[in-house]
Structure formats: C-alpha cells, structure tokens
Structure 1
C-alpha cells in the first residue's frame, strides 16, 4: 500500500493487485486487451521455492497471550490517524505498534511517566506516530504527533494512570499545566519540544477503561495550532474508541452477567490466505516491519493507512472499494468487494510507486498476472511485486529478486484456492 520502502529489515511500501487487471510483460504495464493480461496461468510451471502454496487452516479461538495481541491489533482500527487531527501529518513513523505493557509505553513517554504504579494494570494499547513531510523541516514548519490509547482492567485504574502520568510529566523541567476550553476532563501539559525552538502539548484523558494520550509538537512560530489540535484529537479519539468492540475481561463479564464469548481470530477469513511468516521468524523478529506485533494481523482501512506513504489517499481508497479487512503477514493481502475494486487498488498503487521513482522489472516467470518494480535505497536494491486473483490482491517485498518472485508465485497459488465469496 505504497508504504515507505526501506529495504533493510524495515522494508515497507504496501501496494495491492487485482484480478483481471492490467499486468506486466517484462516489467511493462499492459492493459486488459493485451492477451498477457488474461493469460491462463499454469500453476505447475511456477517456481514457489520453499514457500507454502495452501491456505492456512482457520486460526480458531485466541488463547493465552494471543488474546492481548489480537485485541490490540483490532484496537488499531479505532486509533485516530494523525492526518485526521492535522491534515499535514502524512509522514508516518515510529513508534507504531502494539503496546503490551509499560515496557512499550516507555518508548513513547519515557521511563518516569511510563513507570507510574497504576500502569501495572495496563492490558494493552496501540500507538501511532507521524510528522509533516521532510521538506517542512527546511521551511521551518515541521510538526509531529504521537497518539495512543491504553486499556486498563477497571475505570478506576485508567483514572489513576492518567493522573499519575500527568503528575509525572509536571515534575519535568519547564512543564506547566494548561487550561484548554472544552477539555475539563483532560490533563493538558505544556512541555519543551525535543529540539530547540519547539513546544509541545501533552493531553492525557481517562475515558472509561481507557487512557487517551496525545503528544503534539510544533515550532514556536506555530504554537497557535497546539490547543485546537489537541482538543480535536481528544474529541475524535473519545468518539472512536467508544466504537471498539473490546473483548470483555472476566471482571467485566461477571459485572454484566455475561457468559464467556470465544474470541475468534481472523474473523473475516483473510489472514489464512496471506503467505505467512513462520512462528520462529516472528519470535526472532525476522520480519519486514520494525515490530513483529504488527504482523500476523488483520487491519481495517484506517489502521492500514498507518503503514502508508500516502495515508489519507489510501484510507479513502480502501473504504471506497470495500477492502475493510486486510491481512498483514509475509504478504499483505487485500480483498475488495469486486474484482473491479481490486483492479482500482492495483492500478492506483502501481502508478503511485512509479511516480515516486520505482522502476519496472520483469514479472516472475510464467506469472503474467504479477507486476514488479524496484528501487535503490542506501545502495541496496529492493524489489516489490503485486499479484492478483479474483477479489484478492497482495504485495510482496524483499532484497533478493528470486526470493520475491518465489513468494509472489506461492501467493498466487494460494489465491487460486481462496474463497471468493468470503467476507
């Protein structure tokens, strides 16, 4: 999905493909009237290497640590995207991940704030970060934001955590409380920015069993944007997190007299069709994103935009074509409502990648339904391919062209066995 392409271990650059779409012949785009676009693929002729060619079995019920990971990945769709707060915040960055405990929260807020006693009751959370594009640094208008939500065992735990974190912030040099109209339920604190000539506001809000946190930084010349953006962030996040169907804890079920309900992983039946990482690769963090907790996951259009180089456009597009459940594993898989919608995704992302400088390379042998591009980053050549079948589209990335071709071929074979009516 047009993710930023960092070819060494943090490879990004999402794109997607569509069935019966224009494809590539020797790396050149062709249209539907070209025989290669609708060529019958002999799957037996494809080099799939060591990769599986069968869909995975259904994942079933989440148990143990899976519950935390899966629920936090689900929560990501209900985290306000930075561009929804400030339209210029389109340069997605780190941290962007599942928050399992205070260990992860430290990377966002620092040891003093994360280590407050009430944070022992964190169940999980999700954080997303972004800044204005790099060119704004030279123009002196750079702005940046971290936005996260953490879930706690009880509302009292969330209230205690919000107050304790705010108190910890106020112990920092030059930190002061700020009163913002319409934000009486939030603790808002002004702190020096992380570079000279910058200022930031921090908002910490307890809301039911959640703590909503936003850090927004501007240059001193843009300080008038701080309070409106912080208020907008809290208003949007409060409304959005209320829509999250969080899995009830045991205490919540007992208080509501509810029976235990199974939390079924991959409820939309799409992750089973994504070319997978092995358990060991995920355990050893040998994945193509900076955080292993971001893979073996299903995301909605908003949370998929977190990994994009053009978040607003991709958010709109995925909603438009009905790609509401998207799988991220070794392959990233999308499923539009129709093959025509998938074709639109495929064409849009290929055109965008070409426009940003990626060059066409040949498609995998005997697989005219695929399109491949490459680019050089820090003297390393990265390869990206997209492939399609019916409503399903996928993208594969890596630095070894033969390996990327094998992944793409294996993903295509899996697609030929996918349920085209699944939702």
Structure 2
C-alpha cells in the first residue's frame, strides 16, 4: 500500500564533542563557587557562543527552527500506547522532495502544489531496534509524520490528494477504512497485509500515520491509528501554526541553551544533527528506550534539551531541570547503563562525575563500537551537561570547560 518508506535511523544518545583551538576563561566567581579561571580547560573556549557566532535569519534556517519547534509537539511512542516504548528513528523535512521520500510515489507534486512548509516524522516500536539492523520479525511499529501547510484549505486538499496517490499504488487491493472517532481522516488498508495508512487534516497541519502490527488485524490497526490521533491532535492544538514571515522571526536560541554548551568550532547554525534546541521530546525522539528516559526526565522536571556537535564527532548534551535539587537527581542517573565503568571525577571540577563505556558489544553476530570511551556529567544550578572523549585527559578538560561555560553564561 505504501511504495516507499524510509527506515528512520535513531540518533544515538552516546555523543562526543569537537576539539578546537584558542582558549580564554572569563567570568567572576560568585560566593560559594570556584574561580573557573583556575580550571584546566586546555584549548577549549569557555565563553558563551554568542561571543563568537551571530545568527542571521534566513528562510532556510528559519524552516529548520520551525521544524525543531514542531519536533516538540510530535508524539512519542509511550504517549500513544505503552507497548511502543522504543524509538526507532526521527527526521525533519524542509523540502517536498525530502518529505515525499517516506510517502507513496507521486506525492512530491502534491506537496509542492499545496506548498508544504516543513514537517517532522518519528517512529516507535514494541521491540528495540538494534543499530544498523532492521526491527525484529513480528515487531509492531507506528510512524507519525506531521506536516504544516500555509492554511487549512491547503492542508485539507493535501490530505485528500496524498491519500488518493497512496491508494492508487494498489487500487485493486486496497480498501477504504472509516475511523469512528475521526470521520474526516482518509484511511485505507490492504486485507491480508498487517499495515494501515491514514491522513488527517487538522487546521494547517496534516498528520500521516502508518501502523504495522504482528498480523493483519483490522480492529487492532484501526485502534492504533485512532490512538495516534488521540495523542497527536491535542499537541497540535497547542502549537500555533507559523507563516513564512513568522518563520523568519523565530528565535535562534530562545531559552539560552546553546550559548551554554561546549562548542569548540563556534558553529551555531540550527541543524537537527548538530545544533538543536527544543523540549523534552527533542531528546526522547533520539533515544532507544523512550519510556525509561521519559521517567528519568519527568523525575527531574526537565523542560528543555539541547545538543551541540555532530554525533560522530561528539555533541555536548544539555538539560534544564526543574530546580537545582532536581538537576542533582538527573545528574546521578544520566550516565545510566551506557557508561557503567568507574572513573575518577575530573580534578577540581565541582559537580562532575565520569564513566567508561564498553569498547564494543555484539548484536546478532555484528560487533558494534560505541562512539567514545568516556563520558562526564556536570551539574550547575538547574542544568546538567555531558561531554565525551576517547581520552581521559581530554574528557577532563572538556568537563572543566563545560562547567566554566555554564558559570560564564548566567547573565
């Protein structure tokens, strides 16, 4: 029924940070805090990012910021059904050509004609997906793809046209399905095939769902599709659509998260894989066990998350907790099972702890290596950050620089 679907690759939580040149440690120690100028930060820069980078609005970067904003309002698996606790991937789209890659052949012209602005897709499953592997046979999965159009009329037409194109892929076998709770949704399945696709226009948004179950059970597939809409529609009601002028006016770092992160090269253009700032769902879409991390974030009242740096080089991660006590709770759990090895804390860095991860592990006969060997977690007031490296001395300098950055970014 669907000719082409991307396999959304999950973005690993394990991440590293770039090294850079040039060092300067500024700031003044507050009562009860150390003088960060005494820390060994090596060549890492410890001034907030805006001292080295200025964001100039453009339509392209604005669309990326708009997609990041949408990311925070797209459901995670456990919000739909507790069984779907494992994220299997997420991706943003800023062109019709990219978005058509996860839809039926012929969808690109529909998206262009109706002037799709941007979109975001996320998928989850009831079994974990090993890195570099497909989901295990018999796994159930859900994909939620939200797109924004210029207005409700364009969204309504796009939903109907996208369904028509999708249905025609196997018009002789597909059958229309009516959803009792969402009579305006365009839905179909192919009897004997354990999948169902649906499109629902909601204001300026179109929600596309694609559900896969263990067997071709029409009642189960219908129930899952309606559950996705039950969880997703209220989130869109809380997100006012943004027009092209509004896209240009979106703020680059509205909560001051990126300015506090270790960013050796000073590159700050918004990008999902390297310069991202968003809500807690922005983190949950990037991890494997969403239910576990949902509980961890909830226990600490985390409301903002950011990353800086590509995953293969190593971003720093930053979380904003409810308060200083909640941040300590998160700090004590953040290394988790990924970095269980005992490692001494970096010298003289308050509120820092480190761990060592396994060098490699085996999945179905395939040896996988994690990105970096060491990770340190640093807590400062209501913020928790992590930095990674393969070298212990380097991760200590990164931790010191990250602490100094947070201390220097309090204005």
Do these two structures clear the TM 0.5 threshold for a shared fold by scoring above it? yes
Tell me the equivalent position of 1:148.
Answer: 145
Tell me the equivalent position of 2:107.
Answer: 113
Structure 1 segment 182-201 matched on structure 2, within 5 A: 182-191=181-190, 199-201=194-196
> How many pairs align?
365
| Structure-2 change in CA distance of 1:126 and 1:238 (3 Å) | same
Runs of at least 5 residues in structure 1 that lack an aligned partner in the other structure: 1-8, 16-38, 254-259, 284-291
Kept in 2, the 8 Å contact 1:304–1:315? The answer is no
Tell me the equivalent position of 1:331.
Answer: 316
- Superimposed CA distance per residue, residues 80-120 of structure 1 (whole angstroms, 9 cap, x where no aligned partner): 112211212122122x1221112321332254334435456
Deviation at 1:14, TM superposition (A): 7.8
Deviation at 1:245, TM superposition (A): 3.2
> Which has a greater percent of helix?
1
**Stretch of structure 1 that moved more, 62-71 or 409-418:** 62-71
Kept in 1, the 8 Å contact 2:318–2:383? The answer is yes
Tell me the equivalent position of 1:73.
Answer: 68
Which one of the candidate residues 100, 104, 125 is aligned to 2:98? 104
Q: TM-score with structure 1 length normalisation?
A: 0.75
Matched, 1:245 2:234: no
Tell me the equivalent position of 1:159.
Answer: 156
Name the SS of the counterpart of 2:211 in structure 1: strand
Deviation at 1:317, TM superposition (A): 4.0
Deviation at 1:238, TM superposition (A): 1.6
Name the SS of the counterpart of 1:109 in structure 2: coil
- Distance in 2, Cα, partners of 1:138 & 1:109: 20
| Structure-2 change in CA distance of 1:117 and 1:236 (3 Å) | closer
Tell me the equivalent position of 2:384.
Answer: 393
Kept in 2, the 8 Å contact 1:202–1:215? The answer is yes
- Distance in 1, Cα, partners of 2:146 & 2:105: 18
Deviation at 1:60, TM superposition (A): 6.5
Which one of the candidate residues 267, 274, 295 is aligned to 2:261? 274
Kept in 2, the 8 Å contact 1:296–1:327? The answer is yes
Q: Which has the higher contact order (CA 8 A, sep 6+)?
A: 1
Name the SS of the counterpart of 1:385 in structure 2: strand
- Distance in 2, Cα, partners of 1:133 & 1:358: 23
- Superimposed CA distance per residue, residues 38-62 of structure 1 (whole angstroms, 9 cap, x where no aligned partner): x976644544344321112286774
Tell me the equivalent position of 1:341.
Answer: 326
Name the SS of the counterpart of 1:53 in structure 2: coil
Deviation at 1:123, TM superposition (A): 0.8
Kept in 1, the 8 Å contact 2:45–2:264? The answer is no
- Distance in 2, Cα, partners of 1:262 & 1:281: 17
Kept in 2, the 8 Å contact 1:169–1:189? The answer is no
Deviation at 1:127, TM superposition (A): 1.1
Q: TM-score with structure 2 length normalisation?
A: 0.77
- Distance in 1, Cα, partners of 2:64 & 2:144: 19
Matched, 1:132 2:126: yes
- Distance in 1, Cα, partners of 2:135 & 2:98: 32
- Superimposed CA distance per residue, residues 25-79 of structure 1 (whole angstroms, 9 cap, x where no aligned partner): xxxxxxxxxxxxxx97664454434432111228677443221111110111111
| Structure-2 change in CA distance of 1:303 and 1:130 (3 Å) | same
Kept in 2, the 8 Å contact 1:88–1:132? The answer is yes
**Stretch of structure 1 that moved more, 132-141 or 172-181:** 132-141
Deviation at 1:139, TM superposition (A): 9.0
Matched, 1:371 2:353: yes
Instruction: Please tell me the root mean square deviation across aligned C-alpha atoms, in Å.
Output: 3.4
Tell me the equivalent position of 1:12.
Answer: 13
- Distance in 2, Cα, partners of 1:366 & 1:333: 21
Kept in 1, the 8 Å contact 2:44–2:264? The answer is no
